[in-house]
Each structure stands twice: as structure tokens, then as C-alpha cells.
Amino acid sequence: MIPFIFPDLGPYKVEVLSAYAGTILLLLALVVASIWQGRKTRARLDDYEARRAQKRDSDGDAGA
Amino acid sequence: MALSGAVLPWITGLAVVLVLGGLIWGFFFTPNDFRQGSTVKIIYIHVPAAIMGSGTWFMMLAASLVWVIRRHHVSALAAKAAAPVGMVFTLIGLFTGAVWGQPMWGTWWEWDPRLTAFLILFLFYLGYMALWAAVENPDNAADLTAVLCLVGTVFAVISRYAILFWNQGLHQGASLSMDAEENVADVFAYPLWVCIIGFGLLFVCLVLLRTRTEIRARRLGALIAQERMA
């Protein structure tokens, strides 16, 4: 098994780690926002279509 | 929608594996550069993000042209969906560039042609998204944003090829090139290629996901409008 060794970042530790941390945060925010927006829109559309179908059915029953 | 729904999980899985694999390889298993020290590890996020930052704009340009020429609604929605993704990649490129530039150049920022064009490109992304949000009619918004996209392409080109147009500024030329005499060493280049492909796939899966959302939102809007008309 290869032993886990954290790389020696020397005097630039803050720069390198902040670059990685900032990137990961921004990418995570983008991914989470995209998934959340997608789910919200899908739920709204499904809900709207279900209500529409229900209304159509009840209108059909009333007509018969 | 059926095809994109089927391929999306596979592309997402591959993107996650390549991005994580490339970053872990680059961060943990590559040596420090003899001149730049450990800051060379920023290359694995800065270069892919910068490539995708300008690359996204070219994809938006292609989609906008399809919209203008063929009036294909999905292409306009794909361009709209890609903008926030490109904006985030551009922001990552600017941020990591500044963090890398400070210890290497002695400054966070320099008004060099490539950097300035990249900053303007970032502002174009913000303007593009604001324009989509400001115009109520989606077809009018698609027309106006297509024009904005054409104008912004100038800065996308400059941000990528400024070093060829003006041989000045602090920013170096391409780190990886098929025809360059001098590329980065293989030990840095291999994980960098993995990260570039991973970021590219991440872009594809995010744009697919967001385009599907835009299509659903458009359908919802059309249904609501239809009901109001009835």
C-alpha cells in the first residue's frame, strides 16, 4: 500500500490551497444550483401537468 | 430529451472520475517545479478553467448562429444554459490566475491584453445573463443575446490568442500545444490533459442538465400562456 503523504507546498501553501478551495467551492455551488433548479422546474411542470390532466378529466365527466 | 437523459449519468460519472482523478494526480503525485515551486499545481485548475471559459463562449456563438439562421429553439436555450457555466469557469480562471500571479509576477493583476480580454469576457457573461433575464419575450431575448454573443466573441478570441496578436504582457503563451517547440514537461502535461478532458465533460454534463431545465421551463411557460389564452 502506498503511504499517504501530503505534498510539501513550501512557502506557497496558502496560494495553492486557496486556489483549490475557491475552485472546488465555485464548482460545487454551480453543480448544486443546477441540480436544484432542475428539480424545482421539473416538479413545477409535473405538478402543473397533473393539475391540468385532472381538470380535463373533471371537465369531461361534467360534460358527460 | 430521452437521449440526453440516457447519456447524462454516464457523462457525469466519467466527468467526476476524470476531474477528481486529474486533480488528485496533479496535486498529490507530481513534483514541484524548480522555478515556480508548488504554485505549478495551480495549472491543473487554471488552464482547464480558462480553456472552458473561452470555449463556452464559442459554443454559445455556434448555438446562437443556429438560432439566428434556423430559429431552432433548443439551440437558443442551450446557449442560455451554457452562460452561467462559462461564467463560473471564467471566474475560476481569473481567481486562480490572480492567486498564481501574485507570487510569480509580484502582482495580483496586470492590464495585459490576455488578462484584460478575459476580464471583459467575464463581464460579457454577466451582461448576457442579465439580458436574458431582462427581456420578457424569449424569442426577442434569444435574438438580442445572439447579437451580444457575436460582439463578445471578439474578446473570447483575444483572450485565447492575445499572445499571438501582441507579443507583450506578463502572461505566457499556451502551456500545451500540438505544434509548440516547448510544452510543459510530461510529468505535468499528463495530469493536465486528464483535467482538461474532465472539465470538458463536466461542462457537457452541466450544459445538458441546464438545457433540459430550460426546455421544461419553456414548456411550463407555454402551457401557462396557453391556459390564459383559452
Q: What is the pLDDT of residues B20-47, one digit of tens each?
A: 999 999 999 999 988 889 999 999 999 9
Find which of B20, B34, B38 to mutate to test the A interface (most A CBs within 10 Å of its CB): B38
Q: Over pLDDT 90: what percentage of chain B?
A: 70
**What angle (nearest 5°) sits at the alpha carbon of residue B158, between those of residues B116 and B114?**
35
Strand partners, B33: B37
> A with B: how many residue pairs have Cβ under 8 Å apart?
97
The torsion angles phi and psi of B37, rounded to 5 degrees, stand at: 65, -145
From CA B27, how far away is CA A9, in angstroms rounded? 10
**ipTM > 0.85 (yes/no):** yes
Nearest to B209 among A10, A18, A38 (CB): A38
Q: Does residue B173 surpass a pLDDT of 70?
A: no
CB contact under 8 A, A15 and B103: yes
B103 reaches A (C-beta below 8 A): yes
B4 reaches A (C-beta below 8 A): no
CB contact under 8 A, B95 and A22: yes
Nearest to B220 among A18, A29, A45 (CB): A45
Residue of B nearest to A43 (CA): B216
Min distance A60 CA to chain B CA atoms (Å): 16
B42 reaches A (C-beta below 8 A): yes
A54 reaches B (C-beta below 8 A): no
Half-sphere exposure of B72 (CA within 13 A, CB side): 11
**What's the predicted TM-score (pTM) here?**
0.91
From CA B9, how far away is CA B78, in angstroms rounded? 18
From CA A12, how far away is CA A18, in angstroms rounded? 10
Q: Which residues contact B164 (CB under 8 A, 6 or more apart)?
A: none
Residues of A in contact with B27 (CB under 8 A): 7, 20
Min distance A45 CA to chain B CA atoms (Å): 6
Residues of A in contact with B38 (CB under 8 A): 7-10, 12-13, 16
State the DSSP code for A4.
Answer: P
Phi-psi region of A18 (alpha: psi -120 to 50; beta: other; left: phi over 0): alpha
From CA B47, how far away is CA B65, in angstroms rounded? 27
pLDDT at B6: 86
What is the helix (H) or strand (E) element at residue B16, kind and residue range? helix B2-29
Q: Among candidates B218, B193, B141, B222, which has minimal Cα distance to B22?
A: B193
Largest Cα separation within chain A, whole Å, is: 81
Grade residue B227 by pLDDT with cuts at 50, 70 and 90. confident
Q: Could you read off the pLDDT of B203-216 as tens digits, one per residue?
A: 999 999 999 999 99
From CA B173, how far away is CA B120, in angstroms rounded? 19
User: Cell 452541466 sits at which residue?
Assistant: B206
- Reduced to 3 states (helix: H, G, I; strand: E, B; else coil), residue B153 is helix
From CA B92, how far away is CA B98, in angstroms rounded? 10
B140 reaches A (C-beta below 8 A): no
pLDDT at B228: 85
